[in-house]
Amino acid sequence: MELKGRRIVLGVTGGIAAYKAAELVRLLGKHGADVQVAMTEGAAHFVTATTFQALSGKAVYTDQWDARMPNAMAHIDLSRQADLILVAPASADFMARITHGMADDLLATMVLARDCPLLLAPAMNRQMWENPATRRNVAQLQADGVQILGPACGEQACGEVGAGRMLEPEEILEEVVAFFTPKVLAGQRVLMTAGPTFEAIDPVRGITNLSSGRMGYAVARAARHAGAKVTLVSGPVALAVPAGVERIKVKSALDMHAAVMAHVDASDIFIGVAAVADYRVANAAEHKLKKDTGGIPPIELIENPDILAEVAALPDGPFCVGFAAESRNLEAYAQAKRRKKNIPLIAGNLIQEGFGGEDNRLVLFDDTGLHPLAPAAKSVLARQLIEHIATLTGKN
Ligand code: C5P
Cβ(15) – ligand 1 distance below 6 Å: no
Sequence-separated (6 or more) residues with CB below 8 Å from residue 106: 38, 40, 61, 62, 63, 64, 66, 74, 75
Strands 34-39 and 376-377: unpaired
Higher-scoring residue by pLDDT: 299, 156: 299
Among residues 161, 179, 197, the one where a domain terminates is: 179
What is the domain count for the chain?
2
Q: Does 2 map to a domain?
A: no
Same structural domain, 148 and 216:
no
Same structural domain, 170 and 216:
no
CATH of the domain at 246: 3.40.50.10300
Ligand 1 mean position, distance from CA 309 (Å) = 8
Residue 158 bears catalytic tag: yes
Q: Which of 217, 302, 307 to mutate to test the pocket of ligand 1 (most atoms within 8 A of CB)?
A: 307
Same structural domain, 66 and 156:
yes
Cβ(20) – ligand 1 distance below 6 Å: no
| CA 194/CA 192 separation, integer angstroms | 7
Residue-averaged pLDDT of the chain? 93
Q: Which of 344, 362, 364 is nearest to 353 (CA)?
A: 362
Same structural domain, 156 and 254:
no
Same structural domain, 251 and 379:
yes
Instruction: Return the pLDDT at 396.
Output: 65
Ligand 1 mean position, distance from CA 149 (Å) = 37
CATH of the domain at 100: 3.40.50.1950
Same structural domain, 142 and 195:
no
Cβ(253) – ligand 1 distance below 6 Å: yes
* Structure confidence by residue, pLDDT tens digits, 193-211: 999 999 999 999 999 999 9
Ligand 1 mean position, distance from CA 276 (Å) = 6
Cβ(195) – ligand 1 distance below 6 Å: no
Residue-range definition of the domain harbouring residue 266: 189-392
Among residues 131, 149, 179, the one where a domain terminates is: 179
Same structural domain, 251 and 152:
no
Which ligand 1 atom minimizes the distance to the CA of 333?
Answer: 4
Helix, strand, coil percent content, the chain, rounded in steps of 5: 35, 25, 40
Which ligand 1 atom minimizes the distance to the CA of 323?
Answer: 10
Ligand 1 mean position, distance from CA 255 (Å) = 15
CA dihedral 73, 77, 80, 82 (to 10 degrees): -130
Cβ(306) – ligand 1 distance below 6 Å: yes
pLDDT at 330 over 60: yes
Cβ(322) – ligand 1 distance below 6 Å: yes
Instruction: Return the pLDDT at 30.
Output: 96
Which ligand 1 atom minimizes the distance to the CA of 271?
Answer: 10
* Structure confidence by residue, pLDDT tens digits, 103-120: 999 999 999 999 999 999
Q: Does 76 map to a domain?
A: yes
Q: Which of 308, 314, 341 to mutate to test the pocket of ligand 1 (most atoms within 8 A of CB)?
A: 308
Cβ(193) – ligand 1 distance below 6 Å: yes
Same structural domain, 152 and 280:
no
Same structural domain, 164 and 261:
no
Same structural domain, 200 and 146:
no
Question: Residues 166, 151: contact at Cβ < 8 Å?
Answer: yes
* Structure confidence by residue, pLDDT tens digits, 3-40: 999 999 999 999 999 999 999 999 999 999 999 999 99
Cβ(226) – ligand 1 distance below 6 Å: no
Among residues 179, 202, 230, the one where a domain terminates is: 179
Same structural domain, 129 and 238:
no
Same structural domain, 163 and 264:
no
The per-type count for the chain, helices as H runs and strands as E runs, is 13, 21
pLDDT at 268 over 90: yes
Burial (Cβ within 10 Å: 0-12, 13-18, ≥19) of residue 213? buried
Strands 319-326 and 345-350: parallel
| CA 193/CA 99 separation, integer angstroms | 43
